[in-house]
Chain A
C-alpha cells in the first residue's frame, strides 16, 4: 500500500514542491491551504505523515498540530512543521503542541525526503 502524506501550506509553490517531491518518492499527497482545511482533510482519514507550515491564515500550523493531536486519526501520525532556522522558539512551540519534528526552510527535496524518512520509515 502506498504511503499517504498531507501537506498544509498557504503558498502554492511550497505545496507543489512538497507534493512533487513526495509523489516521486511514492507517496499519495493531499494538499490543504491552511490549518482548518488541514483538519478537514484528516477527518475520517489518516495519513502516514503530515507536513505543515506555521504561518497560514485562518489557522496556523501550531494550532493545527495541537488540534490534530486531539483527534484519533492523527494522534500518532508524525507531524513535521516547516520552520525557518531562526525559529528555536517555533521548534519548542511546535513540540509542545505535539509536533514530531521539523524541517528547516529553505530545504531541498533530498532534505525533505530525509526528514520524512526519519519519522516515517521508508
Chain B
C-alpha cells in the first residue's frame, strides 16, 4: 500500500479503535524516523496529515520547522529527526505530520511514515537502559519489542525544549 493508503487506513482504524484503554493495555501508533521505530499513545493523536509546506518562524530552534494552518488554527510542526540530532528532514509528499494534542496545545510532529497501530500491555514495556545518563532519553517512556523489532515509546510532552513551550508540562518545571 502507498503511504497515503496506509495513513487513511490507520486513521480509519484509529477512529474505530478509540476505546484504547483496557485495564493496563494501551494502544499506540507507531511510526519511523529513518530506520528507528517509535510510538505514541493513541489517545494523544488527533490526526495524521500528509506533509504540507510550513511557514518558517524566525529565531526558533532548528527542530522547529515552522507553522501550518489547520482549519484556521496555527499549529507548530517539529522535526523529530532534528530533535534526535540526526539532521533535517527533507520533506516530500510521502512524509507525514502526526497532529498531537497535549493539554491545551496542538502540535505537529514530522516523521517519515506511520507504521501501525499497536496494542501493548503495560507490563511488556521495558525501561530504557542508561536512562539517567542521557537527558535526551527523558522523553522515552520505555522500550517494547514488537514482532522482533524494537519500538521506543515516547511521551510527546517531553520531546521538546521546555523553555520553548513553558506551560506544556508544569511538572517539567
Contact between A and B in the complex (any CB pair below 8 Å): no
